């Protein structure tokens, strides 16, 4: 009996000891909730469930580390993170967009990870140049990549066929603003809207406008120089304004409205990102094709693109080496599961994954392969959020006829000078 009690005691206290040495880390991300993600990283669908299944699988396979997920409100992510850093209570690892690097690196909040990857089995030479450029600012590397994502043209082939806009089994996209209006009229004659896209509550409409500016070889700003009151910006606004004025798009659509209209079969095309490819593949009832963003101004094609990355507090390594080690092991695990994350529709940042047959065989991947060569974004800026709001709110207002163009562009130009100082 004493032997049984002794054996039980040893086992019990060994369990307590084992758990007491587990390292607890918190990962903060958006993408939404998924309570039943499980740990099978190959079968889950949608951003929330795929990323959570990867985290869950890491927890199962690394019993000495406990990862707790904190789901952030997408629209409030950077306000939340800024507050957490201000309170000296940031998560141990958190999601971030490439364009927010100056905001957080500029105040010394996040760690420069230059030279850190190789020690954990991540070969930085496997990161494609576009992604490495996205991570780099002021000579530092401010995160470990998760993906590259971009705007695409999600296409209802049944509607396009009814409109006479299918040739040799492929959708016919416009190559000029004049052709775009012709195609819009053809979709309208078939009882369909032309483009469905988010206008009233956010980012997709303005990102489409950005792309048309870049296609003309210009930008919205360059360093400290605002470039809003220009012919190129006017051309971009007028291109989409002509669709609004012609009744070919609905200027009242928010994100959900545009998505529903297209998924219900009421629009020929939808402007949305890589992140919904797997969702649409599983949920639309018509023939679905994913196209590269059309080039309307000749010359170089361009579409808006950005990157998700994982950033780490600047002082984590010195403050808690065990947590830092656990975080980097989690990063390596997510690195190894880049293909699984790419099932969302996002593009991998790893050359070895991109060149693999498994990646090339993902749903619709070959249809928008060219997107990787036409990706663009605005330059880094420490006040990116304020700049984006200023440009977006005003340019969209011009596009839908709520503001006059000349006076508004001049006003935005002057306000941007202050933000870019």
pLDDT for the residue 190:
98
pLDDT for the residue 368:
94
pLDDT for the residue 162:
98
Q: Indicate whether 18 pLDDT > 80.
A: no
> Which CATH superfamily does the domain covering 14-148+308-373 fall into?
Periplasmic binding protein-like II (3.40.190.10)
CB 80 within 8 A of CB 72: yes
**Beta carbons within 8 Å of 119's beta carbon, 6+ residues apart:** 328
Q: Which of 6-15, 307-316, 409-418 has the lowest mean pLDDT?
A: 6-15
- 248 pLDDT band (50/70/90 cuts)? very high
Q: Indicate whether 22 pLDDT > 60.
A: yes
Q: Indicate whether 41 pLDDT > 80.
A: yes
Cα separation, 409 vs 394, in Å, equals 8
**Beta carbons within 8 Å of 269's beta carbon, 6+ residues apart:** 153, 154, 155, 156, 160, 194, 195, 196, 262, 291
Q: Report the length, in residues, of the chain.
A: 421
Q: Indicate whether 195 pLDDT > 50.
A: yes
Cα separation, 221 vs 420, in Å, equals 9
Average model confidence (pLDDT) for the chain?
93
- 202 pLDDT band (50/70/90 cuts)? low
Q: Which of 118-122, 239-243, 284-288, 381-385 has the lowest mean pLDDT?
A: 381-385
Q: Indicate whether 73 pLDDT > 60.
A: yes
Three-state SS letters, the chain:
CHHHHHHHHHHHHHHHHHHHCCEEEEEEECCCCCCCCCCCCCCCCCHHHHHHHHHHHHHHHCCCEEEEEEECCHHHHHHHHHHHHHCCCCCCEEEEEHHHHHHHHCCCCECCCCCCCHHHCCCHHHECHHHHHHHEECCEECCEEEEEEEEEEEEEHHHHHHCCCEECCEECCCCCHHHHHHHHHHHHHCCCEEEECCCCCCCHHHHHHHHHHHCCCCCCEECCEECCCCHHHHHHHHHHHHHHHCCCCCCCCCHHHHHHHHHCCCEEEEEEEHHHHHHHHHHCCCCEEEECCCCCCCCCCCEEEEEEEEECECCHHHHCHHHHHHHHHHHHHHHHCHHHHHCCCCECCEHHHHCCHHHHCCCCHHHHHHHHHCEECCCCCCCHHHHHHHHHHHHHHHHCCCCCHHHHHHHHHHHHHHHCC
Q: Indicate whether 199 pLDDT > 50.
A: yes
Cα separation, 40 vs 38, in Å, equals 6
- 6 pLDDT band (50/70/90 cuts)? very low
- 37 pLDDT band (50/70/90 cuts)? very high
CA separation, residue 388 to residues 79, 286, 393 (Å)? 15, 35, 8
pLDDT for the residue 172:
98
pLDDT for the residue 298:
81
Domains 14-148+308-373 and 150-305+376-419 agree in fold: yes
Q: Which of 227-241, 304-318, 368-382 has the lowest mean pLDDT?
A: 368-382
- 20 pLDDT band (50/70/90 cuts)? low
Q: Which of 90-104, 193-207, 266-280, 300-314 has the lowest mean pLDDT?
A: 193-207
- Which whole number is the average pLDDT over 153-160? 98
Q: Taking the domains of the chain in order of start, what are their residue ranges?
A: 14-148+308-373, 150-305+376-419
- Which whole number is the average pLDDT over 79-92? 97
CATH 3.20.20.70 assigned to domain 150-305+376-419? The reply is no
pLDDT for the residue 299:
76
């Amino acid at each position: 009996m004493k032997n049984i009690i002794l054996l039980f005691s040893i086992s019990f206290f060994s369990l307590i000891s084992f758990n007491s040495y587990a390292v607890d880390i918190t990962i903060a991300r958006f993408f939404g909730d998924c309570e039943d993600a499980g740990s099978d990283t190959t079968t889950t669908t949608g951003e929330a469930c795929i990323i959570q299944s990867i985290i869950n699988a890491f927890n199962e396979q690394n019993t000495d580390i406990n990862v707790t997920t904190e789901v952030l409100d997408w629209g409030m992510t950077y306000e939340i993170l800024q507050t957490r850093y201000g309170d000296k209570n940031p998560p141990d690892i958190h999601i971030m967009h490439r364009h927010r690097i100056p905001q957080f690196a500029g105040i010394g909040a996040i760690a420069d990870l230059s030279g850190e990857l190789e020690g954990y089995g991540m070969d930085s030479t496997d990161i494609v140049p576009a992604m490495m450029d996205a991570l780099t600012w002021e000579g530092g590397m401010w995160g470990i990549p998760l993906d590259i994502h971009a705007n695409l043209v999600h296409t209802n082939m049944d509607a396009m066929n009814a409109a006479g806009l299918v040739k040799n089994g492929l959708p016919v996209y416009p190559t000029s603003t004049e052709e775009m209006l012709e195609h819009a009229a053809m979709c309208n004659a078939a009882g369909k809207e032309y483009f469905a896209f988010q206008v009233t509550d956010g980012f997709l409409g303005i990102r489409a406008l950005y792309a048309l500016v870049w296609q003309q070889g210009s930008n919205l700003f360059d360093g400290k120089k605002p470039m809003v009151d220009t012919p190129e910006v006017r051309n971009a606004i007028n291109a989409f304004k002509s669709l609004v004025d012609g009744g070919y798009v609905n200027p009242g659509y928010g994100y959900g409205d545009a998505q529903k209209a297209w998924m219900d079969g009421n629009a020929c095309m939808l402007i949305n990102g890589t992140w919904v490819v797997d969702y649409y593949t599983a949920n639309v009832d018509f023939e679905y094709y994913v196209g590269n963003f059309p080039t309307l101004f000749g010359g170089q094609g361009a579409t808006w693109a950005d990157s998700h990355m994982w950033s780490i507090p600047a002082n984590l390594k010195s403050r808690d080496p065990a947590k830092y080690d656990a975080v980097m092991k989690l990063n390596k695990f997510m690195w190894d599961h880049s293909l699984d994350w790419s099932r969302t529709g996002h593009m991998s940042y790893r050359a070895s994954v991109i060149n693999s047959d498994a990646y090339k065989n993902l749903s619709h991947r070959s249809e928008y392969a060219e997107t990787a060569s036409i990706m663009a974004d605005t330059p880094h800026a420490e006040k990116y959020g304020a700049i984006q709001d200023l440009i977006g709110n005003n340019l969209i207002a011009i596009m839908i006829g709520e503001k006059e163009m000349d006076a508004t562009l001049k006003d935005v130009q002057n306000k941007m000078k202050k933000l870019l100082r």
